[in-house]
Chain A
Amino acid sequence: MKKNSILTVDNLKVNFYTYEGIVEALDGVNLNLMPGETLGVVGETGCGKSVTGLSIMKLVPPPGRIEDGKVVFNIKNRTLNVLELEERILRKIRGRLISMVFQDPRSALNPVYTVGDQIMEVLLHHRRKILIKRIIDRLDEKIKEGKAGFLEKFYKKMLTIMMEDPKSDIIELTSKIPFLRGYKRLLKEEAKKEAINMLRLMRIPDPERVVDMYPHELSGGMAQRVVIAMALACNPEILIADEPTTNLDVTVQLQILYLIKRLREEFSSSIIYITHDMGVIAEMCDRVAVMYAGNIVELADVIELFKNPLHPYTRGLLESIPRPGQPFKSIPGTVPSLINPPKGCRFHERCSYAMEICTREKPKFIEVKKNHFVQCFLYQSKSSKKTR
């Protein structure tokens, strides 16, 4: 296990229990994310990349169940195994330390609340204290200058109590009296200001107007920016982006990709970028993990991967990118059903280099070159380094 990685996924196994049988969606996934880098996870539909993203946040929906493995967070010198935490603590982590951006912005946004309300919800949930502190500081200034009236002093008192103990009796009492509960309004206004700020950071034009709009009034690109704003509102350490630009037009996709690149620097987040588009991977990522049928089959730096793809599947993927003037090449066969997955290496039925051992045993995930990992028997003997 790498010491300085911010996130380590170790031998993650996830099964889905359906009517037709048990779908072995993830079969021992190994990943690690270094601080500040963008790790791409690429694969076709059904390979399990979305499930991996959800598992990292322990959000796998039933009938899925995480069977085995560890997801270890290494933040601020603390190590946490996400899969072992209880819901209460997880809720504090989600949105705050790890955030997720989903594929379809329309379904990620609640259609009956304005965009501003939804960003504010995230802010009020996670950054309440910071917001309150800001208001208190401002009120303090006013008091010092002698411009504060009785009401403001009262609000400051209330907010200070609220910061310590939001459920205290006095807060409950005053929140029922119309005149005295103005401090709550202050909090909301502060949150709204912060939301507008986030929208402006996303380069959304006219954010004061957009903050009161409903999701259906926005175009796809704008809606996706709002979702990204919600994800980054609390400055998370890790951002998981699950195909955020797949549903968008190609010019809008470019805008969003550049936005993410810029935010990467401003927010210094580490990003896991899930996609099926090799072009986007080449554009965005520092390292790439290739997934097939629930396994990570190859993991390498992006330039190295494109130059020297080792796993036959990676080679097939790169060759199937359409090139003008050349016939279309594809990988023969289809993705196997994960209900009764093939024994041994799950790719062996479609692999032109398949050997006898591939049908019996599953190859180990080993480092073949420096920082270049493959899960394939073609390279087993070559490696002298230990298993990760």
Chain B
Amino acid sequence: MEQNILLDIKRLKKYYPVLGGVLRRKIADVKAVDNVSFRILKGECFGLVGESGCGKTTLGKTIIRLLEPTAGSIYFNVPPEILEEIDKLENSKLRDERKLRELRRKYDLATYKGPKLNLIRRKMQIVYQDPTTSLNPRMLVKDIVAEPLIVQGIARGIEARRRVIEMLYKVGLTEMHLYRYPHEFSGGQRQRIAVARALITHPEFVVLDEPTSSVDVSVRAQLLNLFEDLRKDLNLTYLFISHDLSVVECIADRVAVMYLGKIVELGDTEDLYNNPLHPYAKALFASIPIPDPTVKRKRIMLTGEVPSPVNPPKGCRFHPRCPEAMEICAQKEPILKDVGNNHFIACHLFE
């Protein structure tokens, strides 16, 4: 077992009930995140890509308990021996239920409630996509960035102010900006304020939910450089969610591709982008427009559209659109397997 696992996510599910009928009962589930398991290592930038509706934002928010998981476990910063023990307990035939439950209650983030959960919040934070809506338009910058300190009881008054100024300088702003409202700043600066707010409690894990999608190309590079610098400076671990595949290629160490609530392929960035194995991943990477008119890439055109997550196809969720679908794909769901070189794939073609 590796020594530096920051997050171990096991069989995470997030379903939304669909109410219908006269009595508004649950008639179906929107399976936004369906049985996702993976690990994030300390200090890495983990990329999560997929198209709209695949569940990547839901996954990010569920991991930091902004949404309530329907099932599954989230182990944050748990020593590897404990993880091993939990693994052993879950896989053994005679499960010691009591011991398992005890360990879960202690370490599994999904079971935390109340003050315990609140303590964890300072270790995991999120930066939203659109800085215009993620900052309270009626609050001054100084209050926005100081709020986590006050709410978490870490610092107040002068001490809080000192930390706020320190953080503002780190993200490239100055104390001149303390007494201003968010609307007085440009998009890029607003995103920096959002980053300052996220980092002020010195979290270890930050979910970046499409942080550069709402800003211009030139600002994008500035923000990405900022993220890289901060990661090294403050020892952060990122979950970088994006639908912009070219950006993820440059910033992430490892990447996971999601489709309809499941991870279909996972691997080191270079390996994955140059040699995608899953048919969906292949089509996805092949559809990135190349900024060079002389290069003609071989395109894989997918037919149809992404189906609704309320009624996903049986078996492998991609099989109705998959150009290499086999009979078994319509019946059995493939499991994420290691095919060597840290490359995981969920496809019957590779079993």
Using a CB–CB cutoff of 8 Å, the interface residues on chain A facing chain B are 44-45, 205, 219-222, 249-255, 257-258, 276-283, 302-303, 306, 316-318, 320-331, 334-335
Within 8 Å CB of B305, what residues of A? 219, 221-222, 252
Residue of A nearest to B302 (CB): A251
Q: For the complex formed, measure the closest distance between the CB of A327 and the CB atoms of chain B, giving whole angstroms.
A: 7
Q: Are B299 and A254 in contact (CB under 8 A)?
A: yes
Within 8 Å CB of B228, what residues of A? 328
Report the interface size for chain B: residues with CB under 8 A from the other chain.
Answer: 40
> Can you pick out 8 interface pairs between chain A and chain B where the beta carbons lie within 8 Å of each other?
A45-B216, A251-B283, A254-B289, A276-B217, A306-B291, A321-B246, A322-B220, A328-B221
Q: Are B250 and A328 in contact (CB under 8 A)?
A: yes
Docked complex Cα distance between A280 and B292 (Å)? 9
Docked complex Cα distance between A253 and B186 (Å)? 29
Question: B51 contacts the other chain (Cβ, under 8 Å)?
Answer: yes
Q: Are A327 and B284 in contact (CB under 8 A)?
A: no
Within 8 Å CB of A327, what residues of B? 225
Docked complex Cα distance between A37 and B283 (Å)? 29
* Most chain B CB inside 10 Å of its own CB: which residue of A281, A283, A326, A328: A328
Within 8 Å CB of B103, what residues of A? none
Q: For the complex formed, measure the closest distance between the CB of A277 and the CB atoms of chain B, giving whole angstroms.
A: 6
Q: Known A-B contacts: A306-B291, A328-B228. Give 19 more (CB < 8 A).
A: A44-B217, A249-B243, A250-B243, A250-B245, A251-B51, A251-B283, A251-B302, A255-B302, A279-B289, A282-B290, A303-B294, A316-B218, A322-B251, A324-B269, A330-B217, A330-B225, A334-B188, A334-B219, A335-B216
Using a CB–CB cutoff of 8 Å, the interface residues on chain B facing chain A are 51-52, 186, 188, 216-222, 224-225, 228, 243, 245-247, 249-251, 269-270, 273, 283-284, 287-294, 299, 301-302, 304-306
Q: Which of A249, A258, A282, A330 contacts B51 (CB 8 A)?
A: A249
Docked complex Cα distance between A322 and B228 (Å)? 14
Within 8 Å CB of B216, what residues of A? 44-45, 276, 335
Within 8 Å CB of A322, what residues of B? 220-221, 224, 246-247, 249-251
CB-CB nearest 7 A-B residue pairs: A279-B289, A330-B221, A249-B51, A328-B221, A278-B291, A254-B287, A282-B293
Residue of A nearest to B227 (CB): A328
Docked complex Cα distance between A278 and B217 (Å)? 10
Residue of B nearest to A319 (CB): B221
Q: For the complex formed, measure the closest distance between the CB of A232 and the CB atoms of chain B, giving whole angstroms.
A: 21
Q: With A249-B306, A250-B51, A276-B217 as known contacts, state yes or no: A282 contacts B289, CB within 8 Å.
A: yes
* Most chain A CB inside 10 Å of its own CB: which residue of B188, B224, B289: B289
Docked complex Cα distance between A321 and B250 (Å)? 10
* Most chain B CB inside 10 Å of its own CB: which residue of A205, A222, A324, A331: A324
Residue of A nearest to B286 (CB): A254
Docked complex Cα distance between A220 and B306 (Å)? 10
Docked complex Cα distance between A252 and B221 (Å)? 26
Q: Are B217 and A320 in contact (CB under 8 A)?
A: yes
Q: Are A250 and B284 in contact (CB under 8 A)?
A: yes
Q: With A250-B243, A252-B305 as known contacts, state yes or no: A331 contacts B218, CB within 8 Å.
A: yes
Within 8 Å CB of A279, what residues of B? 246, 288-291
Docked complex Cα distance between A220 and B217 (Å)? 24
Q: For the complex formed, measure the closest distance between the CB of B186 and the CB atoms of chain A, giving whole angstroms.
A: 6
Q: With A45-B216, A323-B250 as known contacts, state yes or no: A318 contacts B291, CB within 8 Å.
A: yes
Docked complex Cα distance between A45 and B214 (Å)? 10
Docked complex Cα distance between A328 and B251 (Å)? 9
Q: For the complex formed, measure the closest distance between the CB of A282 and the CB atoms of chain B, giving whole angstroms.
A: 4
Docked complex Cα distance between A132 and B256 (Å)? 56
Residue of B nearest to A249 (CB): B51
Within 8 Å CB of B299, what residues of A? 254, 258
Q: Are B301 and A254 in contact (CB under 8 A)?
A: yes
Q: Which of A251, A306, A320, A329 contacts B292 (CB 8 A)?
A: A306
Q: Are B293 and A330 in contact (CB under 8 A)?
A: no
Within 8 Å CB of A252, what residues of B? 51, 305
Docked complex Cα distance between A262 and B288 (Å)? 19
